[in-house]
Structure 1
Amino acid sequence: MPGESFRFIHASDFHLENPLSDLDALPPHLRDAMADAPRRAASAVFEAALVDNIDFLVLSGDLLNPQTAGPHGMSLLLDYFDKLHAKKKPVFWTAGIVDDPARWPDAVPLPPNVTLFPKNRAIMVPVERAGRTIAMVVGRSSDGRNVLHVPSYRVDPTDHYTVAVGYGDAEAKALAEGRFDFWALGGQHNRTEIEGGADSGAVYCGTPQGRCLDEDGAHGYSTVDVDADGTTRVHAIECDTFRYVDIRITAEEIAAVGGIRNIIGEKIVRAQHEAGGRHLIVGFDVSIASGETIQSVGDVEELLTWVRREYGHGTPSAWTARINVRAPRQFPKQWTDEDTILGDFLRAAEKHRATEGRDMNLLPFTEEQPGLPSTTQSLLAEVASDQRTAVLGEATLLGVELLRGGKPNLVKSS
């Protein structure tokens, strides 16, 4: 039997308690905008939900930690919940880990249009419009696990289109066992659609505002249109005000355009065009093919100062947070064969590289610094196995630059 068409918004992971990160300093001209970026992105979600053709709002966890976000963050949620209540729009909130319902103050009740799902069981709530049920929403707040427990979502079968709201990692096979029309998921900051997770879709909509270079690219929320026959269309809506961009540069690109500064300029202009007028926070990862190309990069601190001066003060701004240079796998053979300190150094580095750094002993170096706490000595001396190659590459690149009379590029090579 055909139902009624409707539209809802799915959003999650506001994290109003967390500022933007991956910044060594806050550029003064962007400080206020950066501080307000998470709130502006969350506000964009609510403003979209207030328009007349949206029937309800689904929130999939990690909106804020009330203790660390404070009254400023809580007031944003409550003000918009009240506005949605005035327009008779339901809000369905499955809490994650940071917004555990136990953290919400008892003295601050939620408006009656907000359903905050319990942690101990899943419940199903009808969505009504003009006295008729148009959909069912089933949800359960997280019990503290990072994995979504689909079996706990068992509810009585219904003929109505059913939206399941969940938080935590889940695979398509497990989600499909829930037999829901749509999964609105939270707990992942980058947008992900899980094919086969539900009849009409299973989507992590991601955070409305990225906060680090691991969360690069567009961020926002979803609008979900459901026709009378159950046909579902999911639309990704961008609402971030700052966009993180992780840019890779190869030695071949540097050579092709005539230098590192030219390729940086080209990459930034392209990223600005794709970002549609948003501010950018940029990280560059530069790969060096061989030791001879170190000179083409030059002093990274000077390069960072230049790129911030050239592109970091415009409207919109493209602020470079870091420039990482990856050490080459091999340095020139003539350097390694030299009967010099540089040659000795490179031969020792090659020996450690051959064993993937397993025989590195950094403890004597920590002992040269009197007064270091024993825990600090242990952390510095015992490099994690998955970090040894990166640390060795960084140390080798630094040593080569110092021994060749250059200014060291104190950047990560991982």
Structure 2
Amino acid sequence: MPGESFRFIHASDFHLETPLGDLDAIPSHLREAMADAPRRAAKAVFEAALAENIDFLVLSGDLLSPQAAGPHGMSLLLDYFEQLHAKKTPVFWVAGIVDDPPKWPDAAPLPPNVTLFPKNRAVAVPVQRAGRTICVVVGRSSEGRTQLHVPSYRIEPTDEYTVAVGYGTSDADALAEGRFDYWALGGEHNRDEIDGGAEGGAVVCGSPQGRSLDEHGPHGYTVVDVDADQTTRVHSVECDAFRYCRVEVDASEIAAMGGIRNFLGERIGRLQHDNGGRHLLIGWDISITSGEDLQAIGDVEELRTWLRREFGSGAPSAWTASLVVRPPKQYPKSWTDEDTILGDFLRAADKFDKSNGREINLLPYTEEVSGVVGTTASLLADVSPTVREEILDQATLLGVELLRGGKPNLA
């Protein structure tokens, strides 16, 4: 017997307590917009829930830390919960780690349309419309783990469409064992659809607003439509105000564009076109293979300043959050063979780099700098092997830039 069609919104990881990151400087003209970006994205989710013809809202954890977000963040949630209550729209909330239920103050009770699932067991709640059950929502708040425990979601078999709401990571095989029609997952900030996790879909919807270059690309929420035959259609809706972009560049691409500035300007234009008029926060990662490539790029600090001045003040803005040049493994032999300080430096760097297992101990150098004590000194004393090669490469690049002198033409 066919059921009834319905629609719901799935969102998670608002993190209203966390500002945008990966910024060494905050431009004055974007300061207010950056500060408001997480709230603006969360508001977009709730406004969609109020404006669209949905039957319920599913929230999969890490909405906010009440203590860190404070009354400003809590009032946003409570105000929208009350508006949804006025429209008789149920809200199903599975708490993650930052929004652990005991942290929610008793003085700010949730309205009756909000179900905050317990941590110690899974609970199944029927969703009714006009006196008829249209689906069942099953949820359990996190106990502080980042791994989802699927076996704890077992419920009595039902013919109704079932939406399982959880916080944490899992693979398709484990999710499929739950035998739910749709998995609404949270805890990861980047969107992911897990093929085979459920017949209707297993979706990690991600945060509505990215916070770092590791969270690059589109961010938003998910709209799920289920028809009378229980066929599921999943739609991703973008609502981020700022979008992080990671751009990897091979220096060989630069020459064809007539110089580094022309190349970066063209790429920024393309990014702005592709990302729908949003503010962009860009991380450039440029790999070079020769000294000639380094000469073509020129002074990195000057290039970063130019990018921010030229493209960072527009509306929308394309702000360069970081600019990293990956050094070549080999510098020109003619440089190394020079009877100069540069040649001596490159020969010493090459010898050090080939000293397998040799430790880098920067602690003696801290004796010349006042105030470097405690944790900082201990970190300098013992550099992890995993970053040893990168430190050597970057130190060599810095030395080469200083010893070569001058600033090549960047045009």
The reply to whether residue 396 of structure 1 matches residue 396 of structure 2 is: yes
After superposition, give the CA deviation of every residue in 1:353-403 in whole Å (9 maximum; x if it has no partner): 334664433333334435531432220121111111111111010011112
SS in 2 for 1:146: coil
How many Å separate the matches in 1 of 2:245 and 2:100? 31
How many Å separate the matches in 2 of 1:338 and 1:145? 58
The reply to whether residue 286 of structure 1 matches residue 290 of structure 2 is: no
Question: Is the contact between residue 280 and residue 318 of structure 2 (CA under 8 Å) also seen in structure 1?
Answer: yes
The reply to whether residue 315 of structure 1 matches residue 315 of structure 2 is: yes
Measured on the aligned residues, the alpha-carbon RMSD in Å equals 1.5
1:142 alignment counterpart: 142
1:385 alignment counterpart: 385
The reply to whether residue 179 of structure 1 matches residue 179 of structure 2 is: yes
TM-superposed deviation, 1:406: 4.1
How many Å separate the matches in 2 of 1:140 and 1:162? 14
Counterpart mapping for 1:321-336 below 5 A: 321-336=321-336
How many Å separate the matches in 1 of 2:177 and 2:123? 17
Q: Runs ≥4 in structure 1, deviation > 4 angstroms?
A: none
1:60 alignment counterpart: 60
1:264 alignment counterpart: 264
Question: Is the contact between residue 361 and residue 383 of structure 2 (CA under 8 Å) also seen in structure 1?
Answer: no
SS in 1 for 2:4: coil
Counterpart mapping for 1:82-101 below 5 A: 82-101=82-101
Question: Is the contact between residue 213 and residue 244 of structure 2 (CA under 8 Å) also seen in structure 1?
Answer: yes
1:412 alignment counterpart: none
How many Å separate the matches in 1 of 2:224 and 2:86? 22
Question: Is the contact between residue 221 and residue 236 of structure 2 (CA under 8 Å) also seen in structure 1?
Answer: yes
Normalising by structure 1, we get a TM-score of 0.96
Question: Is the contact between residue 122 and residue 140 of structure 1 (CA under 8 Å) also seen in structure 2?
Answer: yes
1:164 alignment counterpart: 164
Amino acid at match of 1:185: L
Question: Is the contact between residue 223 and residue 236 of structure 1 (CA under 8 Å) also seen in structure 2?
Answer: yes
2:120 alignment counterpart: 120
For structure 1, which segment, 280-289 or 184-193, has the greater mean C-alpha deviation from structure 2 after superposition?
Answer: 280-289
TM-superposed deviation, 1:52: 4.6
Question: Is the contact between residue 123 and residue 138 of structure 2 (CA under 8 Å) also seen in structure 1?
Answer: yes
After superposition, give the CA deviation of every residue in 1:229-281 in whole Å (9 maximum; x if it has no partner): 11111100000011111111211111110111011101110010011111111
Question: Is the contact between residue 366 and residue 381 of structure 1 (CA under 8 Å) also seen in structure 2?
Answer: no
SS in 2 for 1:25: coil
TM-superposed deviation, 1:337: 2.1
SS in 2 for 1:134: strand
Q: How many residues align?
A: 408
Question: Is the contact between residue 20 and residue 212 of structure 2 (CA under 8 Å) also seen in structure 1?
Answer: yes
1:411 alignment counterpart: none
Amino acid at match of 1:294: L
Counterpart mapping for 1:9-408 below 5 A: 9-355=9-355, 358-369=358-369, 371-406=371-406
Unpaired stretches in structure 1, ≥5 consecutive residues? 409-414
Question: Is the contact between residue 6 and residue 226 of structure 2 (CA under 8 Å) also seen in structure 1?
Answer: yes
Question: Is the contact between residue 60 and residue 94 of structure 2 (CA under 8 Å) also seen in structure 1?
Answer: yes
TM-superposed deviation, 1:344: 2.3
How many Å separate the matches in 1 of 2:209 and 2:42? 8
How many Å separate the matches in 1 of 2:302 and 2:341? 27
Rate the CA distance shift 1:159–1:366 in 2: closer, same or farther, 3 A: same
Normalising by structure 2, we get a TM-score of 0.96
TM-superposed deviation, 1:96: 0.3
How many Å separate the matches in 2 of 1:383 and 1:240? 37
Unpaired stretches in structure 2, ≥5 consecutive residues? none
Question: Is the contact between residue 356 and residue 388 of structure 1 (CA under 8 Å) also seen in structure 2?
Answer: no
Question: Is the contact between residue 85 and residue 111 of structure 2 (CA under 8 Å) also seen in structure 1?
Answer: yes
SS in 1 for 2:51: coil
After superposition, give the CA deviation of every residue in 1:296-324 in whole Å (9 maximum; x if it has no partner): 11112221121111111111111111211
Amino acid at match of 2:34: M
After superposition, give the CA deviation of every residue in 1:200-234 in whole Å (9 maximum; x if it has no partner): 11110000001111111110000001111111111
